Structure 1
C-alpha cells in the first residue's frame, strides 16, 4: 500500500502544475490583452466583463477541486495504516466529497453560462482562454463528490457497528 504514495504525490503535483499553469496563461491572455496562444482573435480589443467573470468562476472551481484532492490525499495515511473507521478519515472523505460536488456544480454552471454567452451575446472574445475545462469532467466531479459523501457515511456507520461490536465482547 505504501508503494502508491509516491505516484499519487507525483500525479497530484502534475495536476497542480497543469491547472495553475493554465490559469496563469489564461489570466495573461484575458486580463492583459495578450495573444499568448496565437489565436489571432485580438485586434486591440479587451476581453468582455462576461468572459472575465466566467473565467474567475471556472478558476475558482478548479482551485476548489485541487483543495479537495489535497484533502483526500492528506487523509490517505489512514488508509495505508488500514485505520478505515478513523474519524479524521471519514471527515476527510466528507470534506473532499463536498469540495468535489461544489467544484463540479460551479464549473458546470459556468460552462452553461459560457455557452449562453456565446449563443445570445455572440461574445467570442478570449474564448480560447476559457477552454480550461470539460462539461463531462464537471459531471464526473459531481458523481465523485456524491460517491465520497456516500462512502464517508458508510464508513461512519461501519465505525459505529465496530464500536458496538467491541463493546459486546
Structure 2
C-alpha cells in the first residue's frame, strides 16, 4: 500500500499545481478582457495569429474548461485512491470513481488534442502530422484513462464473483 500513499501524494500535488495554473489563466484572461497590458507575464499567444480576438478568448476559455474537467478526473482518482488506502477493494464508490475518472481523462485528453490540432492548423497555420511531445502526452493520458476503466471493470467483476461466493458458503 506504499505505492497507493505515493500516488495519493502525487495526485494532491498535481491537483494543486493545475488549480494554480487555471487560476492564473483565468486571471490573465480577465486582465486581457479588461484591457490591462500583460507585458510582465510573457504570454506567447499573439492575438494577431487568430482571425479575430474573440477566437483567442474562446480558445483559451475552452482549454480552461477542459483543464477543469481534468482536475475533476484527478479528484475522483484521488478519492478512489483514498478508498484503496483503506483496503476496501469491493466498494461500489471505488469502482465508479475509477471508471468515471478514466472516462474524464480520455474525454479531456481527446478534447485538448483536438483543440490543439485545430488551433495549429487553422489559427497558427502550423501543420505537424507526426508525433509531437504534446501528442505523446495526450496518448499517455488516454491510455491511463482506458487502463483505469479496465481496472474498474475487473474490480466490478471480482465484486460480483465475491458476492456470489459469499452466498454459496
- When the two chains are superposed, the root-mean-square deviation of aligned CA atoms in Å is 2.9
Displacement of 1:42: 7.4
Q: Which residue does 2:65 correspond to in 1? A: 60
Change (3 A) 1:42 1:29: farther
Matches within 5 A, 1:144-159: 144-159=144-159
Q: Name stretches of at least 5 consecutive residues in structure 2 with no aligned partner.
A: 127-132
Change (3 A) 1:18 1:56: closer
CA contact (8 A) 1:111 1:135 kept: no
Q: Which residue does 2:124 correspond to in 1? A: 118
CA contact (8 A) 1:31 1:47 kept: no
Change (3 A) 1:83 1:62: same
Say if 2:21 is the partner of 1:18: yes
Displacement of 1:24: 2.7
Aligned pair count reads 154
Displacement of 1:51: 1.9
User: What is the TM-score with the length of structure 2 in the denominator?
Assistant: 0.75
Matches within 5 A, 1:19-168: 19-21=22-24, 23-28=25-30, 30-33=32-35, 34-36=37-39, 37-38=41-42, 48-116=53-121, 117-119=123-125, 134-168=134-168
